[in-house]
A = this chain, B = another copy of it.
Amino acid sequence: MKIKLLLALLSLSFAGAASAQLKPEDAIKIRQSGYGFMAWNMGRIKMNVEGGQYNKEEVVKAANAIQAIANSGMGALYVPGSDKGKGWEDTRVKAELFTNKEGVGKVAGAFVKEANEMAKVAATGDAAAAKEQFGKLGASCKGCHDDFKVKK
């Protein structure tokens, strides 16, 4: 899919990203990719803050990836028609995400704030502070999942 998707995107002749309307299935795939990649990096931080060994470089790399993805503007991926359907797998987004703008803004803002703080704390190399911030970041992920993601 990656190359096909890239070629599809590259062949768009619209001027400016705002005009680029992704197909729902592609938008869902990209969302799932972003969250999946962040999940891997959450796991890496978790292993470092809860394991016996703290590797500053590992945590920095993982935190930077989460921060950049969190700030990338994934909101644009919730295109009309992507409330249902299959990307890599069936989307589990709730319909409320498309209607409760205030609620979404609140949880999304909290997530971005904690992701930015995680990257900042990681850069200091302070393992105890990283562990504390990792807890806050995880809670901000859960805040959105609780309200806007169907449980398995």
Contacts and interface: CB of A to CB of B under 8 A. Distances in A.
Interface of A: 1-6, 8-10, 12-20, 29-30, 32-37, 39-44, 46-48, 51-53, 55, 58, 61-62, 64-65, 67-69, 71-73, 88-89, 145, 152
A47 B4 contact: no
A37 B69 contact: yes
Q: Can you tell how many copies of this chain the complex includes? A: 2
Contacts of A15: 47, 51-53
B72 A61 contact: yes
A41 to B, nearest CB: 7
A5 B67 CA distance: 20
Contacts of A89: 1
